[in-house]
Amino acid sequence: MSKKGILIVISGPSGAGKGTICKALLERNEYYLSISATTRSPRKGEEDGINYYFLDRDEFKTKIEEDDFLEYAEVYGNLYGTPRSKVQDMLDSGKDVILEIDIQGALRVKDKVDDGVFIFILPPSMEELKQRIIKRGSETPESLMTRFKSAYQEINYVSKYNYAVVNDTVDKAVRKIESILIAEKCRVDRIKEKILDSKEGLIHEQLYD
Amino acid sequence: MSKKGILIVISGPSGAGKGTICKALLERNEYYLSISATTRSPRKGEEDGINYYFLDRDEFKTKIEEDDFLEYAEVYGNLYGTPRSKVQDMLDSGKDVILEIDIQGALRVKDKVDDGVFIFILPPSMEELKQRIIKRGSETPESLMTRFKSAYQEINYVSKYNYAVVNDTVDKAVRKIESILIAEKCRVDRIKEKILDSKEGLIHEQLYD
């Protein structure tokens, strides 16, 4: 029985540092990073199959009908989705898959992949979060307040996740996520059948020794 | 709000290597190793409070009545038990506690400490287990068969545990257990209140290492 990979969903509020963490995780490990499909046009420097799978709207809609997405959503007039079959192939081949996604997208994935590992990235403090949001160049005090309130509300979603990792430093956060993956692979409910199957060698052998 | 430690229960069939693993874990980490109480006499070289807490039968029975044990049992005419208050003090002070115990003892502890982390140590293979049991000097084929059957039955208990760690090498097993502990400290159901409280403006100090 070959070992299946684990789907690791990295999510959390804007400003928490999901992107930086995923980048570092991939530099240190042989994970596959899930690439989304989208109907938006490629930006300068983006390549099909590298940054996104760029599809036209009809192709995307066909895939929706064929249940080809773990989740999808429309954002500012463009469709975005996580392709199911590629992720499944990687998991079946034993590769762990990282999916970096917004909070709502993660919850949609959770409906379909109940043995996924859902990790919520937290900023080290609300003060730090505020600083990071400010640095992103919000022009008015009102839009800053909106963004901050939004992040604040988003943190309530932590209770829907399996793990919460504080992004105090990227290095520490990455090491925690790597530990989570090792621990998950030792969980009895993931590996129970394998253990009980491998028992069957003992008494049988003993009878014939 | 200070950080509580986690109770890590290391169990598994005879021959799996629990003792060796616990020794290595303690050499590498600041865990507290739970010391059992017993009514048996100290062997040469054993010290009270180091190898065991040596109690007389009356003292032990008093402690049973005062619910001072996480679990206890009678083995070959002597009583053995895990003292509750010492373990609790260590956990409350933020120390992680290792409890090395037989399979039945672990299940008794589980009834009382439902947020403990229960780790089942497995031999690397049934063949290896057989070799380790043989090496322990069983004189007759019948007693050997009894011991195998016993180990075989014991492995069924894995389903009552949270994690299963194969003792292929002590070093690998120890690293897995250390990862399990790091992961457990990131579990949302352990730290949810802290996160939601700290949204209110507090620093996430308590979520840090």
The answer, yes or no, to whether residue B127 has pLDDT greater than 90, is no
**Cβ neighbours around A188 below 10 Å, total:** 17
Between chains, do B199 and A152 touch, taking CB under 8 Å as contact? yes
The answer, yes or no, to whether residue A112 has pLDDT greater than 70, is yes
pLDDT of residue B34: 96
A190 residue type, one letter: R
pLDDT of residue B181: 97
pLDDT of residue A79: 95
Residue A4 marked as a ligand binder: no
Q: What is the mean pLDDT of residues A14-33?
A: 93
CB < 8 Å to A10, chain B:
none
More confident residue, A198 or A162: A162
Q: How far apart are the first and last CA of chain B?
A: 14
Chain B nearest-CA distance from A51, in A, is 30
CB < 8 Å to B191, chain A:
164
pLDDT of residue B191: 87
The answer, yes or no, to whether residue B104 has pLDDT greater than 60, is yes
Chain B nearest-CA distance from A208, in A, is 12
Inter-chain CB pairs, A–B, below 8 Å: 126
pLDDT of residue A204: 43
Q: What is the mean pLDDT of residues A8-34?
A: 93
pLDDT in tens, A60-99: 999 999 999 999 999 889 999 999 999 999 999 999 999 9
| Closest chain A residue to B126, measured at CA | A202
Between chains, do A195 and B122 touch, taking CB under 8 Å as contact? yes
pLDDT of residue A134: 78
CB < 8 Å to A126, chain B:
198-199, 201
Enumerate chain B positions whose Cβ falls within 8 A of a Cβ in A.
119-120, 122, 125-127, 129-130, 145, 148-149, 151-152, 155-156, 158-159, 161-165, 175-176, 178-180, 182-184, 186-188, 191-192, 195-196, 198-199, 201, 203-204, 207-209
The answer, yes or no, to whether residue B207 has pLDDT greater than 60, is no
Between chains, do B183 and A178 touch, taking CB under 8 Å as contact? no
The answer, yes or no, to whether residue B2 has pLDDT greater than 90, is no
pLDDT of residue B93: 95
Chain A nearest-CA distance from B28, in A, is 16
The pTM is what? Answer: 0.88
Q: What is the mean pLDDT of residues B170-192?
A: 95
Residue A17 marked as a ligand binder: yes
**B58-62: which pairs have CB atoms within 8 A and are 24 or more residues apart?**
none
The alpha-helical segments, DSSP class H, found in chain A are 18-28, 57-65, 84-92, 103-112, 126-135, 141-154, 170-184, 188-199, 201-208
DSSP A52-94: BEE--HHHHHHHHHTT-EEEEEEETTEEEEEEHHHHHHHHHTT
The answer, yes or no, to whether residue B131 has pLDDT greater than 90, is no
Cα-flanking dihedrals φ and ψ of residue A126, to 5°? -70, -30
Binned at pLDDT 50, 70 and 90, residue B150 comes out as confident
CB < 8 Å to A119, chain B:
186
CB < 8 Å to B180, chain A:
179, 182-183, 186
The answer, yes or no, to whether residue B21 has pLDDT greater than 80, is yes
Chain-wide mean pLDDT for chain A?
88
The answer, yes or no, to whether residue B86 has pLDDT greater than 60, is yes
Residue B44 marked as a ligand binder: no
pLDDT of residue B200: 63
CB < 8 Å to B164, chain A:
186, 188, 191-192, 195
Query: Any residues with CB less than 8 A from the CB of A69 and at least 6 apart, and which?
Result: A37, A63, A81, A82, A83, A84
Tell me the β-bridge partners of B119: B10, B163
Mutation to test the B interface, candidates A153, A156, A163, most B Cβ within 10 Å: A163
pLDDT of residue B206: 37
| Closest chain B residue to A128, measured at CA | B203
Among B158, B199, B203, select the one facing A192 at the smallest CB separation.
B158
Tokens representing residue B115 in the block: 């947020």
pLDDT of residue A205: 41
**Cβ neighbours around A93 below 10 Å, total:** 12
Percent of chain A at pLDDT above 70? 92
CB < 8 Å to B126, chain A:
198-199, 201-202, 205
The answer, yes or no, to whether residue A201 has pLDDT greater than 60, is no
Q: What is the mean pLDDT of residues A180-184?
A: 97
Q: What is the mean pLDDT of residues A43-49?
A: 91
